[in-house]
Amino acid sequence: MNFVFISPNFPYTYYRFCERLKNNGINVMGIGDCPYEELLGELKNSLTEYYKVNSLENYGEVYNAVKFFTEKYGKIDWLESNNEYWLEQDSKLRYDFQITSGIQFNDIKNWKQKSLMKKIYEGAKIKTARQYEVSTFENAKTVLNSETQYPVIIKPDIGVGSNNTWKIENENELKEFFNKKSDIKYVMEDFIEGEIYSYDAIINSKSIPIFESMTNWGKSIADIVNKGFDLSYYVDKSIDEKLKESGRKTVKAFNVKSRFVHLEFFKLTKPHKNVGNTGDFAALEVNMRPAGGYTADMMNFAHATDVYKIWADMILKDETDIKCKEDKFCIYASRKDEHNYVFSHEEILQKYGEKIVMMERMPELMHETMGCFMYTACFDTKEEAFEFRDYVIKKTF
């Protein structure tokens, strides 16, 4: 089996996807813009060959790389990046090289365009916030007077993560948004008071999950970016049955096959007349790739498992014999350079050193969302995990 992995070096832990594929006897080739000599040794050892392009944004260059591999190794069976930014380009490469595994180019819009996602949710009777297409201040004001009320969320119809997402609380903020908005299509949604959870799963070709997990993200990434908050979130040792039901229903509605998915939901902390009651889960959006950052590694710690191997097993044989268990709460707490914190790095290590499983300065590209420096630790109880979080992010003011 020939597998082409796009950008296998970012984030750096993605070498584990390639490593597990190779261990399963799969021929793995990489395409990226990182010089070969700068790749991790583990990644180099996992790849049969690596093709460097000047820019992954240049479709012609990436196309030529896949063509080179096809001519040298034969037909490509799989092509993936496991990265939301490259999903559309992945699908176009599959189309051009007749790779039948993975999402196809004609279907990708349902996974990238929020207005189309909303129609699929509604068609499957999955609870979700109501959405309105708005193009002008007057149009949005009319909707607010007749259909909904402040606060509302406005975001790009097509976008990665929470970039350019706004919470609008009054008419002045609405006017300000339209005065400076970029020239792209936006949608407006009812604001839901709740915590963000994700259903993270590895799905086989029959749309059946062979691994499932739950992550509590707390604050929205939009607030992390726009208000400068510190990111802290945790992978739960277990999964709420209501979330599992909603996640599986969403997988079926979107006809997901042979993918690692990250499906986002609100868990309502206050009833909403258009959505549901306190404790209900309401769909936010689908992300047809693993959760960001090092969340896959956190799943491994929380469930004493190997999600990279489970994914590679799905690729090879559509199933896995790896068992998971309810083991630990794995929590991530980050800091930003612009804040002053009560406790020093040395004090954190002295108090929690034996519990910390990962810590590092994050790549600059991730500073706004994932923080500048992160600590990840495992605990038996949620209370211990929250004490650790509060210790790490406690500020001097």
Mean pLDDT along residues 246-270: 96
Q: Which of 133-137, 211-215, 315-319, 320-324 has the lowest mean pLDDT?
A: 133-137
Half-sphere exposure of 140 (CA within 13 A, CB side): 27
- Burial of 276: CB neighbours in 10 Å, binned 0-12, 13-18, 19+: middle
pLDDT at 391: 98
pLDDT above 80: residue 220: no
- With 70 as the cut, is the pLDDT of residue 163 above it? no
Q: 105-109, 248-252, 336-340: which has the minimum mean pLDDT?
A: 105-109
At residue 68, the pLDDT reads: 98
Calculate mean pLDDT across residues 134-139.
Answer: 92
**pTM for the full model?**
0.92
CA distance 299 to 240: 15
The upper half-sphere exposure of residue 89, i.e. CA atoms within 13 Å in the direction of its Cβ, equals: 20
Average pLDDT over residues 197-225: 90
Q: Tell me: pLDDT of 149 over 60.
A: yes
- For residue 340, pLDDT over 60 is answered with yes
Burial string for 142-153 (b: 16+ CB within 10 Å, else e) reads ebbeeebeeebb
The CA–CA distances, whole Å, from 199 to 56, 266, 274, 280 equal: 29, 11, 23, 14
User: Averaged over 42-47, what is the pLDDT?
Assistant: 98
**For the residues 156-163, what does the mean pLDDT come to?**
70
Q: Tell me: pLDDT of 133 over 70.
A: yes
- How many of the other CB atoms lie within 10 Å of CB of 386? 16
pLDDT above 70: residue 222: no
Average pLDDT, the chain: 94
Structure tokens at 272: 């909403």
Banded pLDDT at 160 (limits 50, 70, 90): low
More confident residue, 207 or 275: 207
Tokens of 114: 């929020």
> pLDDT band at residue 110, thresholds of 50, 70 and 90?
confident
Rounded distance between C-alpha atoms, residue 207 and residue 253, angstroms: 10
330: phi then psi, degrees, rounded to nearest 5: -105, 120
* % pLDDT > 70, the chain: 97
Decide: residue 208, CB within 10 A, 0-12 exposed, 13-18 middle, 19+ buried.
Answer: middle
pLDDT at position 162 over 60: no
How confident is the model at residue 397, as a pLDDT? 81
CA distance 5 to 364: 23
Question: 165-180 pLDDT, tens per residue?
Answer: 888 999 999 999 999 8
Please give the Cα distance from 73 to 288 (Å, whole number): 28
Reading the block at residue 21, the tokens are: 């594929």
Q: Which pLDDT band, with edges at 50, 70 and 90, does 388 fall under?
A: very high
> Is 88 exposed, middle or buried (CB count within 10 Å of its CB: 0-12, 13-18, 19+)?
middle
The per-residue pLDDT for 94 is: 97
Calpha distance 397→391 (Å, rounded): 14
Q: Which of 369, 253, 287 is nearest to 114 (CA)?
A: 287
